Amino acid sequence: MSRLIIEGNHRLNGTVSINGAKNSALPVLAATLLARGTSEIHNCPLLSDVAASVRILRYLGCTVSRSGSCVTVDSLGLCRSDIPDTLMREMRSSIVFLGAIAARTGEAHMSFPGGCELGTRPIDLHLSALRQLGMEIIEERGRLECKVNGRLKGTTIALSFPSVGATENILLASVTAEGTTSILNAAREPEIIDLCKYLSRCGARISGAGESAVTVEGVDTLYGCSHAVMPDRIETVTYMAAAAITGGSLVLKSVNPEHIATVLPAFEEAGCNIISSDGEISIVSPKRLHRIRSVRTMPYPGFPTDAQAPTMAMVTVADGTSVFIENIFESRYKHAGELMRLGARIKTEGRVAVVEGVPRLSGAQVDCTDLRGGAALVIAGLAADGITEVTQIHHIDRGYEKLEQNLCGLGAAIKRVE
Ligand code: EPZ
């Protein structure tokens, strides 16, 4: 298994260009199934989760090719409606294919995505919404056997929680359904807006994208189109935290500062000087960070849960005590134990984590527990005395393209050892 060897205490300085967003590319790639003909998805990041989605599209019969950051999908050859267990297990967010496969072929067969490091990751909201659209779903022996008699029928769906994945599945199932679908308490994340932009370019009729109430007028056919994936807002925060913990300064390009408007004040409270203009953010960090009084993760536009671990890493060496409240996932502090191996002082109790800043971290061997937790360990390793060895980095490769190369380009000393 490959691992990262980090020599700490190198200040980061320079410029980094942010890649396309994983959490937009994945639902957009699933959506290409709905479009007859060819779609060109530009700014598509080189990630293992994206590669897993491409494998699913190819298994289903699509022709998929990649040239640089552009993934081209021709769905004409679509001839299957099932996702093999191996592919489902490889990426639990493959559940986002359910609505698209069933809407396009009239059926869908896949295993339950199962849980992950963040908790049980239920899909009850997905299934109840798709049933309301007329999908017959049999759940047995860990599998989902889905069937559509005729055509899905639009209806009003009120989500008890603004689930990102459930909103995406409803959108993918309803854009070619009969009649109108209204989604109440829809997720408002920028990735939802990006998915709706792609679908609208294909001919879908969606209003209210990014708001809590979204209306979809079903159309008969969607046609392939070109789309550029939005910048990755979590990757943006990750690089900012990496600069901040090293006392460095960074210019981040190809970003959308609006997408992290509720994160920037936390970095400013930590003592960072941030200037954001269209498409760019510059951050200058203090020699020693201050604590962040409290970070509460919330659905968008609140503080993103995916930014919790990178921000926690950053404040492990801040002056004072920071408090985190994780309101989205039931168990998203697995990285705390590994940060403590580096000398961090963290106390977690249910959804609350209290981080008492320490003067220094010291390098150690640590294991990635999940994607954003792994990024947090790299961030902490950048500021730890001596050598930090980060293992299980396949978690990181799911959501960060060329992380160590980019960090080395900014002055970090990191090498990947196979
Ligand atoms: C998406 O996951 C993202 N993944 C996650 O990013 C992100 O953390 C999450 O949204 C929240 O923003 C992708 O887009 C591929 P949810 P998703 O449905 O759709 C509960 C990363 O690091 N819930 O909004 O799974 C669920 O258990 C990943 O890039 C139900 O109870 O998130 C969780 O507590 C991690 N029933 C909460 O809602 C359901 O049917 C939020 O889940 C669905 C969700």
Q: Check if 23 has its Cβ closer than 6 Å to any atom of ligand 1.
A: yes
The residue from 228, 250, 283 where one domain ends is 228
Residues 206 and 237 in one domain: no
30 and 13, same structural domain? no
Q: How far is the CA of 351 from the centre of ligand 1 (A)?
A: 16
Q: Are residues 149 and 249 in the same domain?
A: no
Handedness of CA 385, 386, 392, 395 (dihedral sign): positive
Domain count, the chain: 2
Q: Is the CB of 125 under 6 A from ligand 1?
A: yes
The torsion region of residue 74 among left (phi > 0), alpha (psi -120 to 50) and beta comes to: beta
Q: Is 95 in the pocket of ligand 1 (CB under 6 A)?
A: no
For the chain, give the number of residues.
Answer: 418
Residue ranges for the chain with pLDDT beneath 70: none
Q: Is 186 in the pocket of ligand 1 (CB under 6 A)?
A: no
Looking up residue 8, the CATH number of its domain turns out to be 3.65.10.10
Same-domain check for residues 164 and 80 = yes
Tell which phi-psi region holds residue 134, choosing left (phi > 0), alpha (psi between -120 and 50) or beta.
left
For residue 116, what is the DSSP state? Answer: B
Residue 96 has a pLDDT of 96
Could you tell me if 211 and 245 lie in one domain?
no
Q: In this structure, which residue's CA is closest to atom 4 in ligand 1?
A: 23
Out of 185, 205, 228, a domain closes at: 228
408 among known catalytic residues:
no
What confidence score (pLDDT) does residue 114 get?
72
Note whether 157 and 178 are same-domain residues.
yes
pLDDT tens by residue, 388-400: 999 999 999 999 9
Q: What is the pLDDT of residue 356?
A: 98
In this predicted structure, what is the pLDDT of residue 89?
87
Asked if residue 301 and residue 408 are part of one domain, the reply reads yes
Positive or negative torsion for Cα 176, 182, 185, 188: positive
First CA to last CA distance, the chain: 6
Q: Are 72 and 37 found together in one domain?
A: yes
Q: Residues 134, 176: one domain? A: yes
Contact by Cβ (8 Å): 5, 408: no
3-state SS class at 25: helix
Ligand 1 atom showing the smallest separation from residue 329 Cα: 34
Per the structure, the complete domain to which residue 336 belongs is given by 3-19+231-417
Which of 170, 328, 332 has the most ligand 1 atoms within 8 A of CB, as the residue to mutate?
328
Catalytic residue among 116, 146, 225, 408: 116
Closest Cα to atom 38 of ligand 1: 163
Are residues 102 and 218 located together in one domain of the fold? yes
Query: Do residues 264 and 351 both lie within one domain?
Result: yes
158 & 291 share domain: no
Which of 228, 260, 292 lies at the terminal end of a domain, its last residue? Answer: 228
pLDDT tens per residue, range 38-53: 999 999 999 999 999 9
So what's the pLDDT on residue 117? Answer: 77
pLDDT for residue 113 = 85
